Structure 1
Amino acid sequence: MSRDDAQNRSGTSVLGVRDLTVGYHGVPIVHSVSLELVAGATACVVGPNGCGKSTLLKGLTGLVTPMEGTVTLAGCGDITDMSTAERAANGMGYVPQIDDVFKPLTVEENIVIGGYRLSRAKVATNKERVLELFPRLQSMLKRHAGVLSGGERKMLAMARVLMLEPKVLLLDEPTAGLTEEMASRLLDEQLAELKASGIAVLLVEQRANLAMASADWAYVLATGRVRRSGSAAELRADPSFSHIFLGGTEEAFLAGAAEPTKTEGEVRCS
């Protein structure tokens, strides 16, 4: 770990990724990315469409087998070869962009299913805990998930995953389909609650400005590589970042990209 990395860390390391390369059918999409998440911190991944954000997340969750590199999780070491289910059992939570709830079931049934590995007593305890994190769900327990609004459904998806008390939570485009106001409220309120509970959050988000307003650390991908990383607040305030790096094509991104703030491919979150 470099001196800069040590200065950036301010908590217990939860998720470590080293030189991760992920792709499909032998073709790499994400190249040699390294990152580290600490408890109670949020990092966001932003960048142009098609830059590899979701592929990176799939490599971390085990939905796609990495071609190179390692993934480690606090308490169980190297999880690179673990299945998605095994990672969940060991403390990795994942909320996908779509198919994130069981629509025919009620809100309460969705939450209870999230604790499928737990005893009945623990399910009851954890249900109360997640309802404290998402109090608006309390009045919807008997409502079917399929009739919830987009924001309500995303809260339910997170509540269900949190039943297993994950150490790290990976969120793939949680504001997709939401209005700007709903998206801002979801990120502002819920990420603050998650951070306060000590969970490390890795957020993949197309709405870069909103994501960075709520995150501690940000990094930007283009052509599968880290081109810029640093404090989310500092990057967001950088005028060149605002008009070059947020949205648009990878060609425009690369044409205006400055030198990376860290060695390309290396990311640390604190």
Structure 2
Amino acid sequence: MIEVQNVVAGYTSEVDILRGMTLQARKNEIVTLLGPNGCGKSTLLKTIVGFLTPRSGGITLDGKDVSRLPAHHKVRHCGVGFVPQTENVFSALTIRENLQVGGHYMAKADAAQRMQELCTLYPILAKKFNAPAASMSGGERQILALARALMPRPKLLLLDEPSAGLSPKVLLEVFEAIQAVRKQEGVTILMVEQNAMEALRISDRAYVLSMGTVALTGDAATLMADPQVRELYLGGRAT
């Protein structure tokens, strides 16, 4: 589905944030990226979606080289969806208008049908359909941001810390919404998360990043069960 091969990238010509990053996510998988702040997790997502161009290495989507394509092209023509960490909804717009933004280039009838599908998948959207996004809770806004990214039916969904700033209860609700996406949409999800253990519980596999490279990878259940991995990389001892 998505393959990243030996990618080097950064925000300035003097500093490489990604230093030979290699990973993959297969069709219909949830793959989580873990690691300390500054290790390159969000930079990797921005490079995959097209906000940054790799200095070297390559990114392929369904076997097609998309390394140098800009973000708008990947979203519109390659089936890539992206939900940033913060400021990811338009607070002054209604839920309906936010969804319309996500489907602005879709045919009108198709966009209307898609909004109905997403309101069925996430009933809170239908309940507050004509209310401003500013009226929503933090968890509800994350669900709206998720739904807006899903409007054009992406094949690959990139999520940058969907649980940021949420309480434990709301965090679980958002993760349930992410699981529903995979079940209902069959989409591949690549997710950056700081809540490592909760993220691993809904993931198939994970990569632990360190200093712009992959320090460790494996299936989620194995990583969760390894006491040394949990203590060194995941922020807690096995219980």
Query: Taking structure 1 as the reference length, what is the TM-score of the superposition?
Result: 0.83
Matches of 1:49 and 1:36, distance apart in 2: 21
Residue identity over aligned pairs, in percent, reads 39
Instruction: Choose which of 170, 182, 197 in structure 2 pairs with 1:195.
Output: 182
Could you tell me whether the CA contact under 8 Å between 2:22 and 2:213 is conserved in 1? no
Task: Specify the SS of the correspondent of 1:241.
Answer: helix
Residue 204 of structure 2: which of 197, 216, 220 is its match? Answer: 216
- 8 Å CA contact 1:101–1:153 kept in 2: the answer is yes
What is residue 55 of structure 1 aligned with on the other side?
43
Task: Tell me which amino acid in the other structure corresponds to 1:186.
Answer: V
**Residue in structure 2 matched with residue 83 of structure 1 by the alignment:** 70
Letter in 1 for 2:150: L
2:11 pairs with 1:24: yes
Measured on the aligned residues, the alpha-carbon RMSD in Å equals 1.4
Secondary structure, counterpart of 1:142 in structure 2: coil
Deviations 1:11-48 (A, max 9, x none): xxx21211111112121111212222222110000011
**Alpha carbons 2:81, 2:157 under 8 Å: kept:** yes
Question: Where does 1:39-188 land on structure 2 (aligned, <5 Å)?
Answer: 39-74=27-62, 77-89=64-76, 90-187=78-175
Q: Deviations over 1:44-67 (max 9, x none)?
A: 000111111111111111111211
CA distance in 2 between counterparts of 1:192 and 1:24 reads: 32
Classify the secondary structure of the residue corresponding to 1:185. helix
Q: Distance in 2 between matches of 1:104 and 1:60?
A: 29
Report the AA paired with residue 36 of structure 2.
Answer: P
Asked if the contact 1:104–1:145 (Cα under 8 Å) also holds between the matched residues in 2, the reply is: yes
Contiguous gaps of at least 5 residues in structure 1 = 1-13, 249-270
Q: CA deviation at 1:191?
A: 2.2
Deviating above 2 A after TM superposition, structure 1's stretches of 4 or more consecutive aligned residues are none
The 8 Å contact of residues 45 and 221 in structure 1, kept in 2 or not, is answered as yes
User: What are the residue-to-residue correspondences of 1:184-263 with 2, within 5 Å?
Assistant: 184-187=172-175, 189-196=176-183, 197-247=185-235
SS at match of 1:28: coil
Matches of 2:114 and 2:3, distance apart in 1: 27
- On the 8 A contact 1:48/1:246 being kept in 2, the answer is no
Q: CA deviation at 1:147?
A: 2.0
TM-score by length of 2: 0.94
Distance 2:8 2:177 in 1: 31
**Contact kept in structure 1, 2:25 and 2:188, CA below 8 Å:** yes
Match for residue 10 of structure 1? none
Per-residue deviation, 1:247:
4.1
CA contact (8 A) 1:22 1:28 kept: yes
> SS of the residue aligned with 2:166?
coil
Q: How many residues are aligned here? A: 233
Distance in 1 (alpha carbons) for counterparts of 2:47 and 2:110: 30
What is the distance in 2 between the residues matched to 1:176 and 1:65?
26
Residue identity in the other structure for 2:206: A
